[in-house]
Structure 1
Amino acid sequence: MTTPEQNKQLVLDAFDTLFNRRDYARAETYWSPHYIQHSAHIPPGRDGLFDLVRALPDTLRHETELIMAEGDMVMLRGRFSGHDQPAPWIVVDTVRVRDGVLAEHWDVIEDEVSREASASGLPMFGDTFPEDRQESI
């Protein structure tokens, strides 16, 4: 039985391996071959996820801002950028860890907005708006 802290580290390592490093062989050790995908945006299974990532530009990056775990469930709030879409995505990923691998996934995704488009006047990720960062969106 793994602890919530171990599960958080596993998910962080898995996301970095797949989305930032693009090491698909190593990523297979993090995702179950029977991976269940609940996302409306990602085809079923581990292959559906990996094929989607392969189709995205090599400039894709994932940053984690917050991670929480309880039992076998891990939630992380992150930002995907470099995917050649009009705006970065702010995503809350919920992952079930089973037998030391990522077994099941749900997500909520929204486009990151500019200062002008933010009704609250606050950034959605970190303490800066996309137009204030020295990066391409």
Structure 2
Amino acid sequence: MTQTIEEKNKAFVLEAFETLFNKRDYAAAERFWSPNYIQHSAHIPPGREGLFALVKGTPDSLHYENGLTVANGDYVLLHGRFSGMGLPANWIVVDIVRLENGRLAEHWDVIEDEATKEASVSGLPMFGTTFPSG
């Protein structure tokens, strides 16, 4: 059975995040991120070098955990948690990346401090529940 472009793109972006954020293999990460990478985040300096420098400056305990991945053509949306950053709260992040020529070419994000189930007005956690299928 052949994978769709969306399935391939989701797997590629998840592998890229694993390589950079969890394995911290910067040489290998270069094959995922375009040298002309465009960064739209208020928290990350411009370009691939800015992103890599930011990760290098975080504690070794930094960890990315993915909860949901959605793709539409060359756009991939990730809903995940960044923990071990040395901050008072983990970050729940929606990352949107655009792929071009087989690499991550552009990035946007929405970041929020994680509220525990107990701290959430809804009584539901921000991460870790099963997303409905379909």
Q: How far did residue 28 of structure 1 move?
A: 0.4
Distance 2:49 2:114 in 1: 27
Pairs aligned (count): 126
Q: How far did residue 113 of structure 1 move?
A: 1.0
Q: Which residue of 1 aligns with 2:15?
A: 13
Q: How is 1:29-68 mapped onto 2 (pairs within 5 angstroms)?
A: 29-68=31-70
Could you tell me the TM-score, scaled by structure 1's length?
Answer: 0.90
Distance 1:16 1:103 in 2: 17
Q: Name the % identity.
A: 67
Q: Which runs of 5+ in 1 are unaligned?
A: 128-137
Q: How is 1:80-95 mapped onto 2 (pairs within 5 angstroms)?
A: 80-95=82-97
Q: Which residue of 2 aligns with 1:114?
A: 116
Could you say what secondary structure the match of 1:105 adopts? strand
Q: Which residue of 2 aligns with 1:99?
A: 101
Q: How far did residue 115 of structure 1 move?
A: 3.0
Give the RMSD, CA atoms, in angstroms.
Answer: 1.0
Letter of the 2:115 counterpart: V
Could you say what secondary structure the match of 1:77 adopts? strand
Between 1:2-11 and 1:118-127, the stretch displaced more is 2-11
Q: How far did residue 91 of structure 1 move?
A: 0.2
Could you tell me the TM-score, scaled by structure 2's length?
Answer: 0.92
Distance 1:118 1:52 in 2: 30
Q: Which residue of 1 aligns with 2:71?
A: 69
Q: How far did residue 4 of structure 1 move?
A: 1.0
Render the CA deviation track for 1:8-53: whole Å, top value 9, x for unaligned: 0110000000000000000000000000000011000000000000
Q: Which runs of 5+ in 2 are unaligned?
A: 130-134
